[in-house]
A and B are shown apart, each in its own frame.
Chain A
Amino acid sequence: MIAQDSIGPNGDGDIVVIDGLRKSYGAVEVLRGIDLKVKKGDAVVIVGSSGSGKSTCLRCINRLEEPTSGRIVVGGHEATGKNVDLNALRRRIGMVFQSINLYPHKTALGNVTLALRKVIGLSKAEADAKALKHLELVGLAHKADSYPAQLSGGQQQRVGIARAMALEPQVMLFDEPTSALDPELVGEVLNVMVRTKELGMTMIVVTHEMQFARDVADRVVFMDHGSVLAQGTPEEILVSPQNPRIREFVTRTKS
Protein backbone atom coordinates (compact mmCIF):
# COMPACT_ATOMS: atom_id res chain seq x y z
CA MET A 1 0.00 0.00 0.00
CA ILE A 2 1.50 3.31 -1.01
CA ALA A 3 0.91 6.46 0.99
CA GLN A 4 -2.23 8.51 0.51
CA ASP A 5 -0.55 11.63 -0.87
CA SER A 6 1.80 9.87 -3.28
CA ILE A 7 -1.11 9.43 -5.70
CA GLY A 8 -2.26 13.02 -5.27
CA PRO A 9 -4.97 14.65 -7.33
CA ASN A 10 -3.78 14.78 -10.93
CA GLY A 11 -0.22 14.73 -9.62
CA ASP A 12 1.41 13.27 -12.72
CA GLY A 13 -1.42 14.02 -15.16
CA ASP A 14 -2.90 10.62 -14.43
CA ILE A 15 -6.67 10.61 -14.80
CA VAL A 16 -7.03 7.05 -13.55
CA VAL A 17 -4.80 5.42 -10.97
CA ILE A 18 -5.42 1.83 -9.96
CA ASP A 19 -3.39 0.54 -7.07
CA GLY A 20 -3.34 -3.05 -5.82
CA LEU A 21 -6.85 -3.83 -7.08
CA ARG A 22 -8.12 -7.23 -5.99
CA LYS A 23 -11.47 -8.85 -6.59
CA SER A 24 -12.70 -12.24 -5.42
CA TYR A 25 -15.94 -14.08 -6.01
CA GLY A 26 -16.04 -16.31 -2.97
CA ALA A 27 -12.86 -18.34 -3.06
CA VAL A 28 -12.10 -17.46 -6.66
CA GLU A 29 -9.74 -14.54 -7.06
CA VAL A 30 -10.31 -12.94 -10.45
CA LEU A 31 -8.13 -9.87 -9.94
CA ARG A 32 -4.85 -10.48 -8.12
CA GLY A 33 -3.45 -7.01 -7.52
CA ILE A 34 -3.74 -4.77 -10.55
CA ASP A 35 -1.64 -1.59 -10.80
CA LEU A 36 -2.44 0.73 -13.67
CA LYS A 37 -2.07 4.42 -14.48
CA VAL A 38 -3.79 6.18 -17.34
CA LYS A 39 -2.63 9.60 -18.49
CA LYS A 40 -5.08 12.26 -19.58
CA GLY A 41 -5.88 11.88 -23.28
CA ASP A 42 -4.34 8.43 -23.56
CA ALA A 43 -6.01 5.36 -24.98
CA VAL A 44 -5.11 2.27 -23.00
CA VAL A 45 -6.17 -1.01 -24.52
CA ILE A 46 -6.45 -4.05 -22.29
CA VAL A 47 -6.06 -7.38 -24.05
CA GLY A 48 -5.86 -10.97 -22.90
CA SER A 49 -7.74 -14.24 -23.01
CA SER A 50 -11.35 -14.60 -21.92
CA GLY A 51 -11.53 -14.94 -18.16
CA SER A 52 -8.32 -13.02 -17.57
CA GLY A 53 -10.23 -10.36 -15.61
CA LYS A 54 -10.17 -7.54 -18.18
CA SER A 55 -13.86 -6.68 -17.96
CA THR A 56 -13.97 -7.08 -14.19
CA CYS A 57 -11.07 -4.67 -13.88
CA LEU A 58 -12.88 -2.15 -16.07
CA ARG A 59 -16.13 -2.56 -14.15
CA CYS A 60 -14.37 -1.93 -10.86
CA ILE A 61 -13.38 1.54 -12.05
CA ASN A 62 -16.98 2.80 -11.99
CA ARG A 63 -17.91 0.37 -9.22
CA LEU A 64 -20.32 -1.77 -11.24
CA GLU A 65 -18.22 -4.43 -9.54
CA GLU A 66 -17.24 -3.93 -5.94
CA PRO A 67 -13.45 -4.30 -5.48
CA THR A 68 -12.44 -6.62 -2.66
CA SER A 69 -9.42 -4.44 -1.88
CA GLY A 70 -7.14 -1.88 -3.45
CA ARG A 71 -7.56 1.74 -4.36
CA ILE A 72 -8.82 3.52 -7.45
CA VAL A 73 -8.60 7.27 -8.05
CA VAL A 74 -10.42 8.90 -10.96
CA GLY A 75 -9.71 12.54 -11.81
CA GLY A 76 -8.22 13.14 -8.40
CA HIS A 77 -11.29 11.77 -6.61
CA GLU A 78 -11.32 8.57 -4.60
CA ALA A 79 -13.43 5.95 -6.39
CA THR A 80 -13.03 3.27 -3.74
CA GLY A 81 -14.13 3.43 -0.14
CA LYS A 82 -17.42 3.53 1.67
CA ASN A 83 -18.23 7.23 1.51
CA VAL A 84 -17.87 7.69 -2.22
CA ASP A 85 -20.88 9.29 -3.93
CA LEU A 86 -21.30 6.60 -6.60
CA ASN A 87 -23.67 8.65 -8.76
CA ALA A 88 -21.24 11.56 -8.86
CA LEU A 89 -18.36 9.19 -9.62
CA ARG A 90 -20.21 7.46 -12.45
CA ARG A 91 -21.37 10.73 -13.93
CA ARG A 92 -17.65 11.47 -14.57
CA ILE A 93 -16.97 8.06 -16.10
CA GLY A 94 -18.56 7.07 -19.39
CA MET A 95 -19.21 3.40 -20.11
CA VAL A 96 -19.92 1.52 -23.31
CA PHE A 97 -21.13 -2.05 -22.96
CA GLN A 98 -20.65 -5.23 -24.95
CA SER A 99 -24.42 -5.77 -24.71
CA ILE A 100 -24.95 -2.11 -25.77
CA ASN A 101 -27.91 -1.71 -23.36
CA LEU A 102 -29.78 1.06 -25.09
CA TYR A 103 -33.14 1.78 -23.48
CA PRO A 104 -35.58 0.08 -25.88
CA HIS A 105 -38.51 2.32 -24.96
CA LYS A 106 -36.65 5.51 -25.78
CA THR A 107 -35.54 6.97 -29.10
CA ALA A 108 -31.84 7.47 -29.86
CA LEU A 109 -32.27 11.07 -28.72
CA GLY A 110 -34.16 9.98 -25.60
CA ASN A 111 -31.36 7.55 -24.73
CA VAL A 112 -28.83 10.38 -24.79
CA THR A 113 -30.96 13.03 -23.07
CA LEU A 114 -32.14 10.97 -20.08
CA ALA A 115 -29.06 11.45 -17.91
CA LEU A 116 -28.49 14.98 -19.25
CA ARG A 117 -31.89 15.91 -17.88
CA LYS A 118 -32.11 13.78 -14.73
CA VAL A 119 -28.47 13.77 -13.61
CA ILE A 120 -27.09 17.07 -14.91
CA GLY A 121 -30.46 18.83 -14.71
CA LEU A 122 -30.48 20.42 -18.17
CA SER A 123 -33.76 21.71 -19.58
CA LYS A 124 -35.36 19.72 -22.38
CA ALA A 125 -34.16 22.20 -25.01
CA GLU A 126 -30.58 22.21 -23.68
CA ALA A 127 -30.50 18.44 -23.39
CA ASP A 128 -31.90 17.94 -26.89
CA ALA A 129 -29.35 20.33 -28.37
CA LYS A 130 -26.45 18.67 -26.57
CA ALA A 131 -27.66 15.18 -27.42
CA LEU A 132 -28.03 16.09 -31.08
CA LYS A 133 -24.48 17.45 -31.10
CA HIS A 134 -23.20 14.12 -29.78
CA LEU A 135 -25.36 12.07 -32.13
CA GLU A 136 -23.83 14.22 -34.88
CA LEU A 137 -20.35 13.26 -33.67
CA VAL A 138 -21.18 9.57 -34.06
CA GLY A 139 -22.84 10.32 -37.41
CA LEU A 140 -26.39 9.55 -36.33
CA ALA A 141 -28.13 12.91 -35.98
CA HIS A 142 -30.54 11.79 -38.71
CA LYS A 143 -31.54 8.77 -36.57
CA ALA A 144 -32.40 10.83 -33.50
CA ASP A 145 -36.05 9.80 -33.60
CA SER A 146 -35.42 6.11 -34.28
CA TYR A 147 -35.92 3.50 -31.60
CA PRO A 148 -33.05 1.08 -30.86
CA ALA A 149 -34.86 -1.80 -32.56
CA GLN A 150 -34.96 0.26 -35.75
CA LEU A 151 -31.16 0.66 -35.74
CA SER A 152 -28.44 -1.79 -36.74
CA GLY A 153 -26.17 -3.14 -34.01
CA GLY A 154 -23.40 -0.81 -35.10
CA GLN A 155 -25.70 2.20 -35.04
CA GLN A 156 -26.98 1.16 -31.62
CA GLN A 157 -23.47 1.02 -30.25
CA ARG A 158 -22.68 4.44 -31.73
CA VAL A 159 -25.72 5.80 -29.88
CA GLY A 160 -24.34 4.06 -26.79
CA ILE A 161 -21.08 5.97 -27.25
CA ALA A 162 -22.97 9.24 -27.76
CA ARG A 163 -24.99 8.56 -24.60
CA ALA A 164 -21.80 8.23 -22.56
CA MET A 165 -19.89 11.05 -24.29
CA ALA A 166 -22.73 13.56 -23.88
CA LEU A 167 -22.04 13.65 -20.14
CA GLU A 168 -18.51 14.88 -20.95
CA PRO A 169 -16.81 12.31 -18.75
CA GLN A 170 -13.18 12.45 -17.66
CA VAL A 171 -12.62 8.93 -18.94
CA MET A 172 -14.49 6.53 -21.19
CA LEU A 173 -14.58 2.80 -20.48
CA PHE A 174 -15.23 0.52 -23.44
CA ASP A 175 -16.10 -3.04 -22.42
CA GLU A 176 -15.71 -5.14 -25.57
CA PRO A 177 -17.80 -2.66 -27.55
CA THR A 178 -17.69 -4.62 -30.80
CA SER A 179 -17.82 -8.22 -29.57
CA ALA A 180 -21.59 -8.56 -30.01
CA LEU A 181 -21.65 -7.05 -33.49
CA ASP A 182 -21.77 -8.63 -36.93
CA PRO A 183 -18.27 -8.41 -38.45
CA GLU A 184 -19.30 -5.89 -41.11
CA LEU A 185 -20.59 -3.50 -38.40
CA VAL A 186 -17.41 -3.50 -36.30
CA GLY A 187 -15.61 -0.92 -38.46
CA GLU A 188 -18.12 1.90 -38.00
CA VAL A 189 -17.92 1.56 -34.22
CA LEU A 190 -14.12 1.47 -34.21
CA ASN A 191 -14.08 4.57 -36.42
CA VAL A 192 -16.22 6.43 -33.89
CA MET A 193 -13.83 5.30 -31.15
CA VAL A 194 -10.89 6.66 -33.13
CA ARG A 195 -12.73 9.98 -33.44
CA THR A 196 -13.39 9.91 -29.69
CA LYS A 197 -9.67 9.55 -29.09
CA GLU A 198 -8.95 12.39 -31.51
CA LEU A 199 -11.26 14.61 -29.45
CA GLY A 200 -8.80 14.14 -26.61
CA MET A 201 -10.91 11.73 -24.57
CA THR A 202 -9.08 9.46 -22.15
CA MET A 203 -10.08 5.88 -22.97
CA ILE A 204 -9.69 2.46 -21.41
CA VAL A 205 -10.71 -0.18 -23.91
CA VAL A 206 -11.14 -3.89 -23.42
CA THR A 207 -11.23 -5.47 -26.85
CA HIS A 208 -10.21 -8.39 -29.01
CA GLU A 209 -9.67 -6.08 -32.00
CA MET A 210 -5.88 -6.34 -32.28
CA GLN A 211 -5.68 -4.04 -35.28
CA PHE A 212 -7.42 -1.32 -33.25
CA ALA A 213 -5.03 -1.91 -30.35
CA ARG A 214 -2.00 -1.63 -32.66
CA ASP A 215 -3.26 1.50 -34.44
CA VAL A 216 -4.90 3.51 -31.69
CA ALA A 217 -3.49 2.50 -28.31
CA ASP A 218 -0.92 4.66 -26.59
CA ARG A 219 -0.36 1.73 -24.30
CA VAL A 220 -1.37 -1.91 -24.36
CA VAL A 221 -1.91 -3.83 -21.15
CA PHE A 222 -1.80 -7.61 -21.31
CA MET A 223 -3.78 -9.33 -18.60
CA ASP A 224 -3.52 -12.99 -17.72
CA HIS A 225 -5.22 -14.85 -14.88
CA GLY A 226 -6.15 -11.68 -13.02
CA SER A 227 -2.74 -10.01 -13.21
CA VAL A 228 -1.06 -7.55 -15.52
CA LEU A 229 1.54 -9.68 -17.25
CA ALA A 230 3.08 -6.82 -19.21
CA GLN A 231 2.34 -3.37 -20.44
CA GLY A 232 3.96 -1.10 -22.98
CA THR A 233 3.60 0.36 -26.42
CA PRO A 234 1.57 -1.62 -29.00
CA GLU A 235 4.91 -2.39 -30.66
CA GLU A 236 6.37 -3.84 -27.45
CA ILE A 237 3.33 -5.92 -26.53
CA LEU A 238 1.67 -6.89 -29.80
CA VAL A 239 4.36 -6.80 -32.46
CA SER A 240 7.47 -8.13 -30.76
CA PRO A 241 6.44 -9.44 -27.37
CA GLN A 242 9.19 -10.80 -25.10
CA ASN A 243 6.94 -12.89 -22.85
CA PRO A 244 6.24 -16.39 -24.30
CA ARG A 245 2.65 -16.34 -22.99
CA ILE A 246 1.97 -13.09 -24.87
CA ARG A 247 3.78 -14.37 -27.96
CA GLU A 248 1.48 -17.36 -27.98
CA PHE A 249 -1.60 -15.09 -27.59
CA VAL A 250 -0.48 -12.80 -30.38
CA THR A 251 0.18 -15.72 -32.73
CA ARG A 252 -3.25 -17.19 -32.01
CA THR A 253 -5.07 -13.89 -32.59
CA LYS A 254 -3.37 -13.36 -35.93
CA SER A 255 -5.60 -14.84 -38.58
Chain B
Amino acid sequence: MDQIVRYFFDFPLMADYWPDILKGFLITVEMSVLTVVIGIPLGLLIAIIRLYGIKPLNALIIFYIDFFRSIPQLVLIVLAYFALPHLGLILDPFTATVVALAIVLSAFAEEIFWAGINAVHKGQWEAGRSTGLGFTQTLAYIILPQVVRISIPPLTNRAIGISKGTTLGSVIAVPELLSVTSSIQSNVANPTALTVGALLFLALFLPFVRFTRWLEQAYAHPRS
Protein backbone atom coordinates (compact mmCIF):
# COMPACT_ATOMS: atom_id res chain seq x y z
CA MET B 1 0.00 0.00 0.00
CA ASP B 2 2.79 2.38 0.96
CA GLN B 3 4.44 1.58 -2.34
CA ILE B 4 1.34 2.42 -4.30
CA VAL B 5 1.06 5.78 -2.54
CA ARG B 6 4.76 6.47 -3.13
CA TYR B 7 4.61 5.61 -6.82
CA PHE B 8 1.28 6.98 -7.87
CA PHE B 9 0.27 9.63 -5.35
CA ASP B 10 3.50 11.47 -4.51
CA PHE B 11 1.99 14.86 -5.15
CA PRO B 12 4.76 16.96 -3.43
CA LEU B 13 7.07 15.64 -6.13
CA MET B 14 4.96 17.51 -8.69
CA ALA B 15 5.55 20.87 -7.05
CA ASP B 16 7.83 22.22 -9.77
CA TYR B 17 5.71 20.94 -12.61
CA TRP B 18 2.25 22.35 -11.96
CA PRO B 19 2.61 25.23 -14.48
CA ASP B 20 3.61 22.77 -17.23
CA ILE B 21 0.80 20.42 -16.31
CA LEU B 22 -1.71 23.25 -16.32
CA LYS B 23 -0.51 24.41 -19.73
CA GLY B 24 -0.80 20.87 -21.09
CA PHE B 25 -4.29 20.59 -19.61
CA LEU B 26 -5.41 23.82 -21.25
CA ILE B 27 -4.09 22.64 -24.62
CA THR B 28 -5.99 19.38 -24.24
CA VAL B 29 -9.16 21.29 -23.34
CA GLU B 30 -8.77 23.58 -26.33
CA MET B 31 -8.13 20.72 -28.74
CA SER B 32 -11.08 18.70 -27.41
CA VAL B 33 -13.48 21.61 -27.57
CA LEU B 34 -12.37 22.58 -31.08
CA THR B 35 -12.64 18.98 -32.29
CA VAL B 36 -16.22 18.72 -31.05
CA VAL B 37 -17.27 22.21 -32.11
CA ILE B 38 -15.97 21.67 -35.63
CA GLY B 39 -16.58 17.93 -36.05
CA ILE B 40 -20.24 17.65 -35.00
CA PRO B 41 -21.67 20.60 -36.98
CA LEU B 42 -19.61 19.49 -39.97
CA GLY B 43 -21.10 16.01 -39.64
CA LEU B 44 -24.61 17.48 -39.48
CA LEU B 45 -23.93 19.63 -42.51
CA ILE B 46 -22.71 16.62 -44.51
CA ALA B 47 -25.77 14.58 -43.48
CA ILE B 48 -28.06 17.40 -44.63
CA ILE B 49 -26.25 17.72 -47.97
CA ARG B 50 -26.51 13.95 -48.39
CA LEU B 51 -30.26 14.21 -47.82
CA TYR B 52 -30.71 16.29 -50.96
CA GLY B 53 -29.66 13.18 -52.89
CA ILE B 54 -27.32 14.69 -55.47
CA LYS B 55 -25.80 11.50 -56.87
CA PRO B 56 -22.13 12.34 -57.61
CA LEU B 57 -21.93 14.37 -54.41
CA ASN B 58 -23.36 11.50 -52.38
CA ALA B 59 -20.80 9.08 -53.80
CA LEU B 60 -18.12 11.51 -52.64
CA ILE B 61 -19.73 11.85 -49.21
CA ILE B 62 -19.93 8.10 -48.73
CA PHE B 63 -16.28 7.75 -49.69
CA TYR B 64 -15.35 10.51 -47.23
CA ILE B 65 -17.31 8.86 -44.41
CA ASP B 66 -16.01 5.36 -45.03
CA PHE B 67 -12.42 6.51 -45.50
CA PHE B 68 -12.21 8.66 -42.38
CA ARG B 69 -14.01 6.14 -40.22
CA SER B 70 -11.58 3.42 -41.28
CA ILE B 71 -8.21 5.18 -41.16
CA PRO B 72 -6.41 5.18 -37.77
CA GLN B 73 -6.44 8.66 -36.21
CA LEU B 74 -2.72 8.42 -35.54
CA VAL B 75 -1.97 7.96 -39.24
CA LEU B 76 -4.21 10.85 -40.14
CA ILE B 77 -2.50 13.19 -37.66
CA VAL B 78 0.92 12.20 -38.99
CA LEU B 79 -0.28 12.70 -42.58
CA ALA B 80 -1.81 16.09 -41.77
CA TYR B 81 1.45 17.24 -40.24
CA PHE B 82 4.06 15.65 -42.51
CA ALA B 83 2.30 15.14 -45.85
CA LEU B 84 0.18 18.28 -46.28
CA PRO B 85 3.26 20.58 -46.43
CA HIS B 86 4.18 18.78 -49.67
CA LEU B 87 0.82 19.97 -51.02
CA GLY B 88 1.63 23.47 -49.89
CA LEU B 89 -0.42 23.39 -46.70
CA ILE B 90 1.68 23.82 -43.59
CA LEU B 91 -0.15 23.23 -40.31
CA ASP B 92 1.32 23.63 -36.85
CA PRO B 93 1.11 20.47 -34.70
CA PHE B 94 -1.85 21.77 -32.72
CA THR B 95 -3.88 22.59 -35.85
CA ALA B 96 -2.89 19.38 -37.63
CA THR B 97 -4.17 17.32 -34.70
CA VAL B 98 -7.44 19.25 -34.40
CA VAL B 99 -8.10 19.10 -38.15
CA ALA B 100 -7.46 15.35 -38.29
CA LEU B 101 -9.66 14.59 -35.28
CA ALA B 102 -12.44 16.96 -36.33
CA ILE B 103 -12.60 15.28 -39.73
CA VAL B 104 -12.80 11.82 -38.16
CA LEU B 105 -15.49 13.01 -35.76
CA SER B 106 -17.45 14.61 -38.63
CA ALA B 107 -17.48 11.27 -40.47
CA PHE B 108 -18.83 9.40 -37.44
CA ALA B 109 -21.24 12.21 -36.58
CA GLU B 110 -22.59 12.19 -40.14
CA GLU B 111 -23.44 8.50 -39.86
CA ILE B 112 -25.13 9.07 -36.50
CA PHE B 113 -27.20 11.97 -37.84
CA TRP B 114 -27.98 9.99 -41.00
CA ALA B 115 -29.25 7.07 -38.94
CA GLY B 116 -31.28 9.54 -36.88
CA ILE B 117 -32.84 11.09 -39.97
CA ASN B 118 -33.81 7.65 -41.24
CA ALA B 119 -35.23 6.71 -37.85
CA VAL B 120 -37.81 9.51 -38.03
CA HIS B 121 -41.06 8.09 -39.42
CA LYS B 122 -41.69 9.16 -43.00
CA GLY B 123 -45.16 10.23 -41.93
CA GLN B 124 -43.48 13.19 -40.23
CA TRP B 125 -42.20 14.38 -43.60
CA GLU B 126 -45.62 13.81 -45.17
CA ALA B 127 -47.40 15.68 -42.39
CA GLY B 128 -45.12 18.68 -42.77
CA ARG B 129 -45.21 18.69 -46.56
CA SER B 130 -49.01 18.21 -46.60
CA THR B 131 -49.42 21.54 -44.79
CA GLY B 132 -47.40 23.34 -47.45
CA LEU B 133 -44.05 23.43 -45.66
CA GLY B 134 -41.13 23.08 -48.06
CA PHE B 135 -38.50 20.36 -47.89
CA THR B 136 -36.00 22.54 -46.04
CA GLN B 137 -38.64 23.92 -43.66
CA THR B 138 -39.87 20.41 -42.86
CA LEU B 139 -36.27 19.36 -42.25
CA ALA B 140 -35.54 22.33 -40.00
CA TYR B 141 -38.72 22.51 -37.94
CA ILE B 142 -39.92 18.91 -37.82
CA ILE B 143 -37.20 16.39 -38.64
CA LEU B 144 -33.96 17.80 -37.20
CA PRO B 145 -35.30 18.56 -33.71
CA GLN B 146 -36.26 14.89 -33.46
CA VAL B 147 -32.95 13.76 -34.99
CA VAL B 148 -30.87 15.81 -32.57
CA ARG B 149 -32.68 14.32 -29.61
CA ILE B 150 -32.11 10.71 -30.61
CA SER B 151 -28.55 11.42 -31.73
CA ILE B 152 -27.23 12.92 -28.50
CA PRO B 153 -26.27 9.68 -26.68
CA PRO B 154 -24.31 8.11 -29.58
CA LEU B 155 -22.76 11.50 -30.41
CA THR B 156 -21.57 11.86 -26.84
CA ASN B 157 -19.85 8.49 -27.00
CA ARG B 158 -18.13 9.35 -30.23
CA ALA B 159 -17.16 12.86 -29.18
CA ILE B 160 -15.51 11.59 -26.01
CA GLY B 161 -13.79 8.72 -27.77
CA ILE B 162 -12.35 10.96 -30.45
CA SER B 163 -11.50 13.85 -28.10
CA LYS B 164 -9.35 11.43 -26.14
CA GLY B 165 -7.45 11.06 -29.40
CA THR B 166 -5.95 14.49 -28.63
CA THR B 167 -3.32 12.50 -26.72
CA LEU B 168 -2.13 11.27 -30.12
CA GLY B 169 -0.96 14.82 -30.79
CA SER B 170 2.09 13.91 -28.73
CA VAL B 171 3.54 12.07 -31.77
CA ILE B 172 3.94 15.40 -33.54
CA ALA B 173 5.07 17.14 -30.36
CA VAL B 174 1.87 18.87 -29.29
CA PRO B 175 2.54 19.66 -25.61
CA GLU B 176 -0.86 18.35 -24.52
CA LEU B 177 -1.64 16.91 -21.13
CA LEU B 178 -0.54 13.33 -21.64
CA SER B 179 2.66 14.23 -23.43
CA VAL B 180 3.58 16.69 -20.64
CA THR B 181 2.79 14.27 -17.86
CA SER B 182 4.64 11.36 -19.44
CA SER B 183 7.80 13.42 -19.88
CA ILE B 184 7.55 14.52 -16.26
CA GLN B 185 7.23 10.86 -15.40
CA SER B 186 10.55 10.14 -17.12
CA ASN B 187 12.23 13.14 -15.52
CA VAL B 188 11.35 12.31 -11.95
CA ALA B 189 11.16 8.55 -12.44
CA ASN B 190 7.76 8.45 -10.77
CA PRO B 191 4.35 7.84 -12.40
CA THR B 192 2.46 10.24 -10.13
CA ALA B 193 2.44 12.62 -13.10
CA LEU B 194 0.27 10.13 -14.98
CA THR B 195 -2.11 9.96 -12.04
CA VAL B 196 -2.40 13.73 -12.22
CA GLY B 197 -2.97 13.50 -15.97
CA ALA B 198 -5.69 10.89 -15.50
CA LEU B 199 -7.43 12.96 -12.82
CA LEU B 200 -7.39 15.99 -15.10
CA PHE B 201 -8.88 13.96 -17.97
CA LEU B 202 -11.67 12.97 -15.61
CA ALA B 203 -12.07 16.60 -14.63
CA LEU B 204 -12.45 17.46 -18.31
CA PHE B 205 -14.75 14.70 -19.50
CA LEU B 206 -17.05 14.15 -16.51
CA PRO B 207 -18.56 17.66 -16.81
CA PHE B 208 -18.87 17.10 -20.55
CA VAL B 209 -20.83 13.90 -19.98
CA ARG B 210 -23.01 15.66 -17.41
CA PHE B 211 -23.60 18.45 -19.93
CA THR B 212 -24.80 16.04 -22.62
CA ARG B 213 -27.13 14.36 -20.12
CA TRP B 214 -28.58 17.79 -19.43
CA LEU B 215 -28.86 18.36 -23.18
CA GLU B 216 -30.78 15.08 -23.53
CA GLN B 217 -33.24 16.28 -20.89
CA ALA B 218 -33.56 19.66 -22.54
CA TYR B 219 -34.46 18.07 -25.88
CA ALA B 220 -36.71 15.43 -24.37
CA HIS B 221 -40.42 15.68 -24.94
CA PRO B 222 -42.90 13.98 -22.63
CA ARG B 223 -43.35 10.34 -23.55
CA SER B 224 -46.53 9.63 -21.61
Contact present for B126 and A97 (CB under 8 Å): yes
Q: Which residues of A contact B130 (CB under 8 A)?
A: 62, 64, 90, 93-95, 97, 164
Contact present for A114 and B131 (CB under 8 Å): yes
Residue among B129, B131, B145, B219 with max Cβ neighbours from chain A (10 Å): B131
Contact present for B149 and A163 (CB under 8 Å): no
Least Cβ–Cβ distance between A147 and chain B, in angstroms: 5
Q: Which of B133, B149, B222, B223 contacts A114 (CB 8 A)?
A: B133
Contact present for B132 and A87 (CB under 8 Å): yes
A residues 52-97 touching B (CB-CB < 8 Å): 62, 64, 86-88, 90-91, 93-95, 97
Contact present for B222 and A64 (CB under 8 Å): no
How big is the B interface, by class? 20 to 34
Q: A99-B121, A103-B124 are in contact. Are A90 and B222 (CB under 8 A)?
A: no
A104 contacts the other chain (CB 8 A):
yes
Contact present for A163 and B124 (CB under 8 Å): no
How big is the A interface, by class? 20 to 34
Contact present for A150 and B224 (CB under 8 Å): yes
Contact present for B132 and A115 (CB under 8 Å): yes
Least Cβ–Cβ distance between B122 and chain A, in angstroms: 9
B123 contacts the other chain (CB 8 A):
yes
B residues 199-224 touching A (CB-CB < 8 Å): 219, 221-224
Residue among A95, A118, A163 with max Cβ neighbours from chain B (10 Å): A118
A24 contacts the other chain (CB 8 A):
no
B142 contacts the other chain (CB 8 A):
yes
Q: Which residues of A contact B131 (CB under 8 A)?
A: 90-91, 114-115, 119, 163-164, 167
Contact present for A87 and B222 (CB under 8 Å): no
Q: Which of B133, B149, B222 contacts A115 (CB 8 A)?
A: B133
Seen from chain B, the residues whose Cβ lies within 8 Å of a Cβ on chain A are: 121, 123-124, 126-134, 137, 141-142, 145-146, 149, 219, 221-224
Seen from chain A, the residues whose Cβ lies within 8 Å of a Cβ on chain B are: 62, 64, 86-88, 90-91, 93-95, 97, 99-105, 114-115, 118-119, 147, 149-150, 160, 163-164, 167
Which 4 residue pairs are nearest across A and B when measured between Cβ atoms?
A: A91-B132, A115-B131, A101-B127, A101-B123
Question: Could you write out 25 A-B pairs with CB less than 8 Å apart?
Answer: A64-B126, A90-B130, A93-B130, A94-B130, A95-B127, A97-B130, A99-B121, A100-B123, A101-B121, A103-B124, A103-B128, A104-B146, A115-B128, A118-B137, A118-B141, A119-B132, A119-B137, A147-B221, A149-B223, A150-B222, A150-B224, A163-B127, A164-B130, A164-B131, A167-B132
